[in-house]
Amino acid sequence: GAGVSQSPSNKVTEKGKDVELRCDPISGHTALYWYRQSLGQGLEFLIYFQGNSAPDKSGLPSDRFSAERTGGSVSTLTIQRTQQEDSAVYLCASSSDRGQPQHFGDGTRLSIL
């Protein structure tokens, strides 16, 4: 498709389990971003990849969160030992370059039981 694709759309897991969220950006977009949207915190930046540069991880809330981007395309956000406060919608976005408008996927709704 032409847009940013995220999977799964919904994920329910038990506290303490690890989860992986996938993002497939728009073809040709060099920049990829992860955000988290929750009722209490609103929309928060998590991590940003630009080409082959080291990612900006300044928004990751703890060392349980990590992300990688393979081959400059698909990205995976991993949350280890999930906690209930990790429940949120995780949004991925991509842009043609840093500073250009970001195009968002529909998100993954993560629920921790």
User: Which DSSP state fits 72?
Assistant: T
β 108-112/10-13 pair status: parallel
Please report how close the Cβ of residue 70 comes to other proteins at its closest, in angstroms: 20
- Which residue ranges make up the site for other proteins (CB under 8 A)? 4, 31, 33, 35, 42-43, 45, 48, 50, 56, 58-59, 91, 93, 98-99, 101-107
Nearer to other proteins, 71 or 99 (CB): 99
Nearer to other proteins, 14 or 40 (CB): 40
Nearer to other proteins, 82 or 95 (CB): 95
d(CA 12, CA 27): 29
Nearer to other proteins, 18 or 68 (CB): 68
- Between the alpha carbon of residue 57 and those of residues 11, 53, 67, 96, the distances in Å are 23, 12, 9, 20
107: left (phi over 0), alpha (psi -120 to 50) or beta: left
Residues whose CB is less than 8 angstroms from the CB of residue 42 and which lie 6 or more positions away in sequence, other chains included: none
Please report how close the Cβ of residue 89 comes to other proteins at its closest, in angstroms: 9
Please report how close the Cβ of residue 102 comes to other proteins at its closest, in angstroms: 6
